[in-house]
Chains A and B, each alone.
Chain A
């Protein structure tokens, strides 16, 4: 879902809790109806975090743009990678899940994002074992 679209949707539903009322001095004002104007008001009025969606969009963009490169420098210079770097460790659990079904880009990006490289030298020719090393690392660090 488009992030901008989802934020507009939240704004719209939030406005449904208000109604125009007439004040005694003849002026108009907005009154907030929390409970009955819209039944899901309390659910929506606490904004859900969009961070997981943002991470998913960035991960998808980075993966689709960078998978064609053999040069790791080209992968790491992608704007989506820079954004993921700004998000920091909050992105790691989702990226570990990506690693399992589309590992190429993440085997390059994860050491840069985490500052660690848990892959054993004995496993460097076997992608499944490399992914296994990362998953074990994520469990040990509380990311999975």
Chain B
């Protein structure tokens, strides 16, 4: 067994469970919002979508406003049964990553970029995921948002549609193309 495989096994045993295979279809922000069919980031290219066609930079404010479109409001850290929570990781004031707290168990789930999903008991375990280099990778979980679980929230398509983006009619495509 190689060193990396050993680390991965140790990780599985002690802290972390990989809950999916590698999948390029979605990323951490999409997974935090509960979606597994889009990659979300406020950028101007076609690899990532964003519910708003002209995002206001990669800022915490921009992320907070988009989270609010899906029912998430700012919150404190800590498990509240019946609530889904998102932890937003920030490095140098720039959002880098997000994890979602499950409303029934309080465990945290996150998608590592275009890699695997992982699930852990404590948020503090996420940055320590050894195969990917430890603490400095994503910065620190800094901002938290919550919404009541079990309620009907908008899908990505509904929210994007209400902002005139989905399902990408030719007029909107031309807007995106002009902006990129």
Contact = CB atoms under 8 A, between A and B. Distances in A.
Interface of A: 66-74, 102-105, 107-108, 111, 117, 119, 121-122, 124-125, 127, 130
Interface of B: 22, 24-25, 27-29, 37-41, 43, 45-49, 58, 94-97, 112-115, 132, 137, 168, 173, 176-177, 180
Nearest to B173: A121
B94 A72 contact: no
26 contacts: A66-B113, A67-B112, A67-B115, A68-B114, A68-B115, A69-B113, A71-B94, A71-B96, A74-B96, A103-B24, A104-B113, A104-B115, A105-B114, A107-B24, A107-B47, A108-B45, A108-B47, A111-B47, A119-B46, A121-B168, A121-B177, A122-B168, A124-B168, A125-B49, A127-B24, A127-B25
Contacts of A74: 96
**DSSP majority for the B interface?**
loop
Contacts of A122: 168, 173
Nearest to A104: B114
A70 B25 contact: no
B173 A72 contact: no
Given A68-B137, A70-B96, A104 B24 contact: yes
Contacts of B95: 71
Contacts of A124: 46-47, 49, 168
A68 B46 contact: no
Contacts of B168: 121-122, 124
A73 B92 CA distance: 13
B47 A72 contact: yes
B37 A125 contact: yes
Given A103-B24, A125-B38, A72 B113 contact: no
Contact of A68 (B94, B132, B177): B132
A36 B175 CA distance: 70
B177 to A, nearest CB: 7
Contacts of B49: 124-125
B66 to A, nearest CB: 13
B96 A117 contact: no
Contacts of A70: 27-29, 39-41, 48, 96-97, 113
A68 B113 contact: yes
A69 B58 CA distance: 14
